[in-house]
Amino acid sequence: MSADVTFRGVDFAFGTAQPVLKDLDFQVGNGEFFVLLGPSGCGKSTALNLIAGFEFPTSGEVLAGGKRIEGAGRDRAVIFQDSDSLYGWLTVLDNIAFPLRVTGAPRPERRERALASVKLVGLHGHEGKYPAELSGGMKQRAQLARALVLDSPILLMDEPFAALDAQTRSILQDELVQLNIHMKKTVLFITHDIGEAILLGDRVGIMRAGPASAIKEFIDVRLPRPRRRGSAEFGELYERIGQSISDEVRRALQREDSLLS
């Protein structure tokens, strides 16, 4: 089954306000790890919401696997930046098994598959805890485990590591890379961190500052995995992307200033 994602001439605006996205056009290939990089307020989360099916384009179309997206669904798993999508009244294991409960899998199977997911993300030993008892990093692992349990072909991640401290972030980035080597899912990953983009992505889309944003430039990251943050090639790419994005960041800041004053 093909799990590619296509944006075709997509516009998006909230009601009659200024458009957030204008003429957004790109494709994420089957099994590709695509990173959407951009300053705050550029609409990258909105793009993710469109694929997830939480919002609908004002014009143009968004396709997954060649079919138009009609709403949220099991083929597109989402990992949110905040962990408020985890259910506080369920244990970690129950949270991870939740999608299976929805699909009607029998209890033993649910438990087995959820435990497998737990091990995959390194939460073994913590599955009996409740979200309130977990650290930020563990909560994101739990979200990841839950997202993986249905084996959805497409994975949407909205700045999942942004709220974590640098060390935890680094560890989780490496683990994500390791995981995806085997699973080869189609991933759309959102971030504002250049280093993260280079580390994780096969291809990076740099978004313009909003409003009416679209992708300014595509950059291929052809470094072999696993990648080293300190390598020369890494540094070169960082420079290149940094230059491209710094204009956008500056424009975004100016816009924020003018909005506030």
Partner 1 sequence: MIARPALLLTGVSLATGIAAWWVASHALGSPLFPSPAEIVASAKELVRTGVLLSDIAVSVKRIAIGFVLGCAVGIPLGLAMGLFRPVRAFCEPIVQFLRFVPPIAWLIPAIMWFGIGETSKILLIFYMTVFLVLINTMAGVSSIRRNTLRSAETCGVDRWQLFWWVVFPATMSYSVAGARIALGNSFAAVVGAELIAADSGIGFRIVESGKWLAMGDMFAAILILGLLGIAADRLVNELASRWLRHYLPPAEQHVG
* Residue ranges that bind partner 1, judged by CB under 8 A: 52-54, 71-74, 76-78, 80, 82, 84-90, 98-99, 101-103, 130-132, 146, 150
* 175 touches 148 (CB < 8 A): no
The smaller minimum CB distance to partner 1, of residues 83 and 237, is found at 83
* 211 touches 19 (CB < 8 A): yes
Closest approach, Cβ 72 to partner 1, in A, equals 4
Q: How far apart are CA 137 and CA 185, in angstroms?
A: 22
Return the ∠ at Cα 74 (arms to 214 and 201), rounded to 5°.
45
The smaller minimum CB distance to partner 1, of residues 4 and 82, is found at 82
Closest approach, Cβ 160 to partner 1, in A, equals 12
The smaller minimum CB distance to partner 1, of residues 77 and 221, is found at 77
The smaller minimum CB distance to partner 1, of residues 132 and 259, is found at 132
> Alpha-carbon torsion 100, 104, 110, 113, what sign?
negative
Q: How far is CA 74 from the centre of its chain?
A: 16
Q: How far apart are CA 228 and CA 240, in angstroms?
A: 17
Closest approach, Cβ 132 to partner 1, in A, equals 4
The smaller minimum CB distance to partner 1, of residues 86 and 188, is found at 86
Closest approach, Cβ 141 to partner 1, in A, equals 15
- Cβ-based neighbour number of residue 226 at 10 Å: 10
Closest approach, Cβ 18 to partner 1, in A, equals 22
